[in-house]
Every structure is written in structure tokens, then in C-alpha cells.
Amino acid sequence: MSDLAVELTAPNGRKYTQPTGLFINNEWVKAKSGEMITSINPTDETEITSVHAAGPDDVDDAVAAARKALKASSWRGMASVDRGNLMLKLASLVEEHAETLATIETWDNGKPYQVALNEDLGEVAGTLRYYGGYADKIHGQVINTSPAKFAYTLREPVGVCGQIIPWNYPLAMAAWKLGPALACGNTVVIKAAEQTPLSILYLANLIKQAGFPPGVVNVLNGHGLTAGVAIAAHLDIDKIAFTGSTATGRQIMKTASVNMKNITLETGGKSPLLVFDDADLAQAVKWAHVGIMSNMGQICTATSRVLVQEGVYDRFVALFKDTVKQVSKVGDPFKDETFQGPQVTRAQYEKVLGYIEAGKSEGATLAAGGEAYKDVNGKGFFIAPTVFTDVKDSMKIYREEIFGPFVVISSFKTEEEAVTRANDTTYGLGSAVFTQDLTKAHRVARDIEAGMVWVNSSNDSDIHIPFGGVKQSGIGRELGEAGLAAYTNVKAVHVNMGTRL
């Protein structure tokens, strides 16, 4: 329908057709309520466009389409190699449309265009291609028990999967979830974050173009408290996969329990980065900067608590401040020299500023930043990269996830103290250790309570390696071969070969 798309010209001059409807059963439809969501450009606070917001009735339609597709021979009966080929085709289409997709991400989200194009979109295509290669390699096994029994297992699709993605990496998080779900033969109802509704709608057209049958992937926008709750509560959805805050994750767990859905959660973090006296200090500083300041600090695994052994603490702080000054260029995300764009929304911008005031009031030392950044035409949700030192473990800024360009730095004396303090948190997503003593590195990696430990790096995740947390940072794993486990059920088949009663 022509009234479910608009012609837009992005700030970088790229013209494209932006879908605005709900993508259900390979067709664009309007929300039954007529409700709309307006996307705001965080760089200058102007409206980009409005898209349809799904309500419970629209979720019902999407789920019905997904259930029908799950049972249809066009998907259920498709050869696994053909299913994989569809995913490979989609990966190629993502690459062909990478400049447009990156443009939408930057316009809608605020992340630097060069990052969206050269990092995020490569990850999207790579993830789809990786799991497309797995589609014909998912199989059960024969289990030898006795001559009287022939036993084997089948790995079958979980069913209809509800997937709820966050606003910090809209397309990458969609790929992380769509990849394993589709490789295993599931069908999907996926909802974008209401803050960043645009790029996944463009992706929906590519899914249809790749040749996926109707109903296999259904794409909705909508508010979390309406569409998100409807997905989590739906009795005909078999699995929920969610990435977002721990508080929302808890609510999704409660809601999804209505029919004991299979669940995967990737939630919050307050990840520690430990720097020992023997570390390569220059490298530790560079990686620590990447680990917290990339993507405007809006990373669930951001190593936002930096603990530095007291022998190198002062040097580390001085070098880190200099690196922030030299590297963290704040500005228009469409300019090549920009390292840091705006926060995604006014609400997130104000939240970070609130934590800055909390840090000041609690007595931490403000070493850099600590204010709104107004040098980009005086508009936008920009925050100066912020560094607090002399931070105590009891402080709010040390304990709570902030999700901004905001780091706290503290000193420690011994390895035992560092590990104890690193683990003194309700979270357990990422962590980093810097030392040139590999024995120490392996020992500390074993002792840290986290789903991931980077040794002499930070946040250099890889689609081939499992990603996930412990404690209140989530349930289950995404990426790597481990990411497939959440999207299949194992069925055991027992064949009596001669036991008679």
C-alpha cells in the first residue's frame, strides 16, 4: 500500500523508501488501533517520520501468521540446505543495501555512520551467513544402549518465537536473534524498540525479497507496555528472546511464565575492567576507552567500572583522560571524524545527566566531562565523555548501570581485593583483565563471576563465540554454536527391537 511507505532524504543526502506499517504474513498493514510512533533524530531533535504501533490485536494476527507458516510445507517441509540458502541470500541483500541500512541506523539511533556501516552491518550480514551455514548441520544422534533398543534423538524447532530487540544495536540484535531461530526452522514475531523503529522495517522488505515464505518472519513496532507485553503473554508463542534492561527482563519472565515459555534473556551489566601493575598500560588505556566510550557508552557489556592497581593508578588516569580528549570527538554522527554521537533519546540523555549529579553529590572526583555537550548546533542529546575517579564501591555511580559515556575509576591493592570487588555486583555479563602474567590472567578469569572475560582487550565480541551473562545479566547464550541450543527441542525416540512382555 502506498500509504504505508514514505520517501525520505537523510541528512547525508541518501534518498530511500521507508516502510511505515506492520509487516505481517509478508504484507504491510496498518495498526488496527491507528496508533503511531514518531521517530526522533537525536542529533537535532527533529521528527523523522511516524510508523504504525502494534497493539494486542495486531500481535494476535502476527502470531497466527507465524503459527500457520510453522505448519506449512513451504517452510516446515523445506530442505534444510534451502533454508540455509535463503539466509545466505538475505545476508547478501544486507550487504547490497548496507549504505541505506547504516544511514537509517545513524539517523534514527545517533551512532556514527562509519561505525554503523563498517562494523554493525558487517556483523548483521556475518551473523546471518554464519547461521545460514548451520541450517543443514543441525541434527540428532543415535544413542547405543542395548541390542534390544534402537534409540535416537531429533532436534526440532521450538515453534513460534517472540523476539524483542533493544535500541542500542537495532539491526545487529535482530540478526543475533533471527539467525539461530531461522536456521533451526522456527517462525518469528520480532518487535523493535519504540525508540528506534525504522531500520528493521527496511530489513523486512529484504526478508521478503530473499524469498522467505509468508509468515516466517513478522516485524512489528509498538510500545513495550502494549505490544511487548502482548508478545510475552501470548499463549501461542513458544519462546521469548529479549535483550534490554534487567528490570524489563524480570517483568518479561513473569509475564512469559503464563505458559512456561522457553526464555532467553540478555539484560544489564556493570562490567569490571581490572588493570594490574604489570599490564601494558598504553594498551590497557586504549581498550578501556573502547570498552566504555564506544557507541556512546550504550553497550550492555560496557566495562564501566575500571579498577586499577595502585602502583599504576595515577598514570592510568592521566593517560585515560588524554585518550578521551584525543579520541572521543563528539559531533554530527554523519561526519567521518566523529567518534561519539548523541544519546538515543532525551530520556536517556537526562538519565545520564542525573547520574553525573549523583556522582558529584556523593563526593566522587569529576576528572573530565560531567555536562551536556552543546557544540553541535546547540541541539541534540549530546553528553561530554565523563570520567569520575576516587569512586567508592557504595556509590550509586559505581553500582548501577548508566548506559552512557560515563566511567568510574578506582584503585585496588591486591588481586584478591580486585576480584572480590569485581564480583560485588548483582550483574555478571562482561569483564576484562589486563596483565602480562598469563598464569594470573587465567586465574582471575576463572574467579570472576561473569559470562565473558576478555584478557588484554575489552568488548571485542565475536559472532562465533557464545555471548551471555550470569546472575541478573541474563539467561542462556546467543551467538556461536551455543546460540542454536535455545531454538531447538530435543526429542528422544525409543524403538523396541525385541523386548517382549
- Mark whether 252 and 297 lie in a shared domain: no
- Mark whether 180 and 86 lie in a shared domain: yes
Q: Are strands 406-412 and 386-389 parallel, antiparallel or unpaired?
A: parallel
Q: How many CB atoms lie within 10 A of CB 148?
A: 11
In a domain, 6, yes or no: no
In a domain, 221, yes or no: yes
What are the pLDDT digits (tens) for 98-115?
999 999 999 999 999 999
In a domain, 185, yes or no: yes
Q: Give the C-alpha separation, 223 to 423, whole Å.
A: 34
**pLDDT category of residue 201 using cuts at 50, 70 and 90:** very high
> Domain of 343?
272-462
Among the listed residues 256, 298, 270, 269, the one whose alpha carbon sits nearest the alpha carbon of residue 111: 298
Given 105, 123, 266, 478, which residue is catalytic? Answer: 266
In a domain, 2, yes or no: no
In a domain, 276, yes or no: yes
Output the CA–CA distances (angstroms, integers) from residue 259 to 233, 234, 236, 263, in the order listed: 8, 8, 9, 11
CATH number at residue 184: 3.40.605.10
Q: How many domains does the chain have?
A: 2
Output the CA–CA distances (angstroms, integers) from residue 484 to 81, 236, 251, 301, 468, in the order listed: 16, 21, 25, 21, 13
- Mark whether 290 and 227 lie in a shared domain: no
Q: Can you give the pLDDT at residue 375?
A: 80
First to last CA, the chain: 65
In a domain, 119, yes or no: yes
**Cell digits of residue 330:** 563528539
Residue 478 confidence (pLDDT) above 70: yes
- Mark whether 200 and 302 lie in a shared domain: no
Q: Are strands 36-40 and 47-52 parallel, antiparallel or unpaired?
A: antiparallel
- Mark whether 103 and 139 lie in a shared domain: yes
**pLDDT category of residue 242 using cuts at 50, 70 and 90:** very high
**pLDDT category of residue 173 using cuts at 50, 70 and 90:** very high
Q: Can you give the pLDDT at residue 378?
A: 85
Residue 376 confidence (pLDDT) above 90: no
What are the pLDDT digits (tens) for 20-51?
999 999 999 999 999 999 999 999 999 999 99
What is the average pLDDT across 232-243?
98
CATH number at residue 314: 3.40.309.10
Cell numbers 569512586 correspond to what residue? 391
- Mark whether 171 and 305 lie in a shared domain: no
Output the CA–CA distances (angstroms, integers) from residue 276 to 143, 416, 441, in the order listed: 49, 12, 10
The rounded mean pLDDT for the chain is 97
In a domain, 155, yes or no: yes
Q: Per the confidence metrics, is the pTM higher than 0.95?
A: yes
- Mark whether 284 and 197 lie in a shared domain: no
What is the average pLDDT across 445-461?
98
Q: Is 266 a catalytic residue?
A: yes
In a domain, 11, yes or no: no
What are the pLDDT digits (tens) for 132-169?
999 999 999 999 999 999 999 999 999 999 999 999 99
- Mark whether 132 and 54 lie in a shared domain: yes
- Mark whether 291 and 278 lie in a shared domain: yes
State percent of the chain over pLDDT 90: 99
